[in-house]
Amino acid sequence: MPEAALHVGSGKVRELYALDDDRLLLVASDRISTFDVVLPTEIPDKGRVLTGLAAFWFTRTRAICANHLLALRPDGRSTECRRLEMLPIECVVRGYLSGSGWKDYTATGSVCGHSLPAGLVESAELPEPIFTPATKAVTGHDENIDRDTAADLVGAALFEQVERVSIALYRFAADHARERGIIIADTKFEFGLDEERRLVLGDEALTPDSSRFWPADEYRPGGAQSSFDKQFARDYCESLGWDKLEPGPELPEAVVTGTRARYVEAFERLAEIDFDVYLADPEVVLR
Ligand code: Q0Z
């Protein structure tokens, strides 16, 4: 727990503290959620993997967009960030048809106003990545919105900018990941404005918690894909016949170990840094 910092928010698996008027501390726990339920068993170092990956991407995407990262703490799970005025939309980019994108496509043939070719199968790669904004739901699930609704929420000029920047960030990361055997099927960005009202990338970006990571060697369009990071935990939970209501089941040691190994593997493949090297000196991802 950080000292002399006010707790200002809790996510399912993260905590947010105010350091002063201008700075926040974002702390990633080792909690894991499956089927939207936080499990009682933690995955050791999961928060460090996500924090390290986000800091890696922030460092490498600075030319595409400024970001909120100020410092990475020696614990490897806490980042000091600039406090921003966050935009009221979730900036989702999809390169593949999955989740709510697939659901909307089967119902209407389009996703957030993007009319898509007929005959696409579940998990199909899209001809081009699409920007599919969503509202920020306080409880329950974010709701996909069309371009006009999103533009009404942030203004037309800012909408055009977040769409262009989001797609550029996704293309950069998805190309990098694909060359290393990971498909980033979709991802969610959260942007804010700084004191000069410049667009700044905030929150946690391009991690397996804010994105769908799929193992490229197992990619088979025409059905759901296995999750790079959470598949062991999901399969175990499914094998119990759990009703997916709170509380979730405890995970056995083998599932914990296997899941931790997948997170570490994602970090090492994408950052090309040994995770032990990150643990010894987290700032390696900033160079
Ligand atoms: C992020 C969240 C979490 C609960 C607010 N740089 C920023 N400036 C202003 N606000 C935020 C950020 Cl990152 C901000 N969230 C999401 C994160 C726990 C909620 F760790 N909320």
List, for residues 42-99, the tens digit of each pLDDT value.
999 999 999 999 999 999 999 999 999 999 999 999 999 999 999 999 999 999 999 9
Model confidence at 137, pLDDT cuts 50, 70, 90, reads: confident
Mutate to test the pocket of ligand 1, among 21, 26, 193 (most ligand atoms within 8 A of CB): 26
What pTM was computed for the model? Answer: 0.98
What's the pLDDT band for 205 if we cut at 50, 70, 90? very high
Residue 153 Cβ contacting ligand 1 at under 6 Å: no
Instruction: Determine contact, residues 39/233, Cβ cutoff 8 Å.
Output: yes
Return the half-sphere exposure (C-beta side, CA atoms, 13 A cut-off) of residue 251.
28
Q: What's the distance, CA 7 to chain centroid?
A: 22
Q: Among 24, 80, 82, which is best to mutate for testing ligand 1, by the most ligand atoms less than 8 A from CB?
A: 24
**Cβ 69 under 6 angstroms from ligand 1:** no
CA 85 to ligand 1: nearest atom = 9
Cβ atoms of residues 183 and 170 within 8 Å = no
Are 239 and 255 contacting, i.e. CB atoms less than 8 angstroms apart? no
Statement: residue 102 has pLDDT above 90: yes
Q: How many CB atoms lie within 10 A of CB 103?
A: 14
Closest ligand 1 atom to residue 9 Cα is: 4
Rounded mean pLDDT of 164-177? 99
Q: Give the pLDDT of residue 3.
A: 65
Protein residue whose Cα sits closest to atom 13 of ligand 1 = 203
Pocket test for ligand 1, best of 16, 90, 198 (most atoms within 8 A of CB): 16
Pick the atom of ligand 1 nearest to 84's CA: 8
Tell me if residue 37 falls in helix, strand or coil: strand
